[in-house]
Amino acid sequence: MTKSGTRIFIVILTLLLSTSMLPLASLVTAQTSSTYQPKFAGDPARSDSEAAALAYMRVVIRAQHRFQKQYDHYATSLAELVHSGSFTKRMVDPNRGDYTVSFKGKKDSFVLSMTPQHQDAQHRSFYAEDDGKIHTDEDKPADANSPVVK
């Protein structure tokens, strides 16, 4: 084989190997990037979106309990919770990424729910009341009868 023939062979071999390996490389990357990495030991979330929704709910629940302890009643709106615990003004916005917040507050109780834009196994709905237990459902909006998040 001549020198130029060897070069052409190497170039063709390199192209063949790189194009045949490309689908495999992108498949490995896709599988790696879609695998959820838990944020802490015992994390019940199945995706980054769920982790953010659950974190938001925990902040609201803690803020409500702090508010109730300070004022002897729960906040009746999310805006009332601003500066209670770590609840910020920005958190009043009900659009939370892949989720929408629903909040109904009374002086003696509250209901908080997080509904995903598209519900699936990685975007479950969540529900909580003043007892602080977060419930979840994979198929429909969560409610008090839905299983508690483990």
Confidence of residue 150 (pLDDT cuts 50, 70, 90): confident
Say if residues 114 and 53 touch (Cβ distance below 8 Å): yes
64-85 pLDDT tens trace: 999 999 999 999 999 999 999 9
Give the CA angle between residues 58, 62, 67 to the nearest 5°.
145
Q: 148 to each of 65, 85, 134, how far by Cα in Å?
A: 19, 24, 6
Burial class (CB in 10 A: 0-12, 13-18, 19+), 81: buried
83, with CB counted inside 10 A (0-12, 13-18, 19+), is exposed
pLDDT at 13 over 50: no
Confidence of residue 1 (pLDDT cuts 50, 70, 90): low
Pairing of strands 99-105, 95-96: antiparallel
Identity of the residue numbered 63: A
With 0.85 as the threshold, say if the pTM is over it.
no
